[in-house]
């Protein structure tokens, strides 16, 4: 029951605080996706001049995003929860610029189809990751190695430019990111019990990081599904 107290192997647990951690992580992940969508819509439909200006220096966007991700990953312990939140939404805003580029390349109907498929998978896998009694942390190593392989192969294919490798990476990425969604949701559930008695600022920072992971899972799954179902203009 909400607000009740119990015990497990991690010690004294407040169900209220545990639920709050989970709720905030999901709300921030949704907020990040909405932030990216709003930026994309604004650039495409309300400020084309800014969109074209950003397009001329688009190479800066991934550099800034990598920088933000590194700062959040390496210096999280030194950041305040407020700073981590600002960095997270800044990353989401820059991703909105990428979404705007996607909106120019692909038709609106194919983007809608990809978004629907992604949302459906995200909801189903989130439910599975939260309700399963299995500890999915045992699959973390495999998923992370798969993700690393996708990154390396994607960089290699920038030079090779082979269709076979392109589609192989795409299918593998869909599998990896669907697995990561269930894995990260399961991890959020476990952390919600482990972090209850920690400092609130630390708990909030880790909640933002978990929201960031879910956000990345969703965005990347959407992009790779769009590769499969997307029709270019």
How far apart (Å, rounded) are the C-alpha atoms in residues 179 and 31? 22
* Other C-beta atoms lying within 10 Å of the C-beta of residue 49: 8
Tokens 């992971």 found at? 213
Q: Which residue has the tokens 């939404």?
A: 89
Find the radius of gyration of the CA atoms of the chain: 19
Side-chain-side CA neighbours of residue 188 (13 Å): 33
Distance CA 90, CA 203 (A): 21
Q: Is 7 helix (H, G, I), strand (E, B) or coil?
A: strand
Residue that is written with structure tokens 């190593």 in the block: 141
- pLDDT on residue 196: 66
Q: Which residue has the tokens 């879910």?
A: 214
The three-state DSSP-derived secondary structure of 83-132 is: HHHHHHHHHHHHHHHHHHHHHHHECHHHHHHHHHHHHHHHHHHHHHHHHC
Domain boundaries, the chain: 13-229
Looking at residue 202, its pLDDT comes to: 85
Nearest-CA neighbor of 212 among 38, 73, 74? 73
208 CB neighbour count, 10 Å cutoff: 27
Place of tokens 């960031």: 212
Per-10-residue mean pLDDT of the chain, 233 residues long, equals: 41 68 94 97 93 86 92 90 95 95 92 96 96 92 95 92 94 96 95 78 90 97 95 83
Q: What is the pLDDT of residue 8?
A: 43
């Amino acid at each position: 029951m909400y607000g009740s107290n119990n015990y497990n192997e991690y010690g004294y647990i407040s169900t209220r605080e545990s639920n709050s951690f989970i709720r905030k992580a999901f709300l921030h992940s949704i907020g990040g996706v909405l932030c990216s969508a709003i930026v994309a819509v604004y650039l495409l439909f309300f400020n084309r001049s800014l969109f074209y200006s950003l397009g001329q220096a688009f190479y800066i966007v991934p550099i800034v995003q990598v920088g933000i991700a590194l700062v959040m990953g390496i210096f999280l312990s030194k950041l305040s929860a407020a700073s981590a939140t600002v960095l997270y939404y800044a990353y989401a805003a820059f991703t909105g610029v990428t979404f705007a580029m996607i909106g120019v390349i692909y038709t609106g109907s194919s983007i809608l189809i990809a978004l629907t498929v992604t949302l459906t998978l995200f909801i189903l896998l989130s439910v599975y990751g939260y309700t399963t009694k299995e500890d999915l942390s045992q699959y973390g190593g495999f998923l992370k190695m798969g993700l690393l392989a996708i990154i390396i192969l994607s960089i290699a294919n920038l030079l090779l430019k082979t269709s076979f490798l392109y589609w192989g990476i795409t299918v593998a990425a869909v599998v990896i990111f669907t697995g990561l969604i269930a894995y990260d949701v399961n991890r959020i559930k476990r952390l919600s019990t482990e972090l209850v008695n920690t400092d609130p600022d630390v708990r909030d920072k880790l909640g933002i990081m978990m929201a960031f992971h879910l956000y990345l899972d969703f965005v990347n799954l959407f992009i790779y599904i769009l590769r499969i179902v997307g029709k270019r203009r």
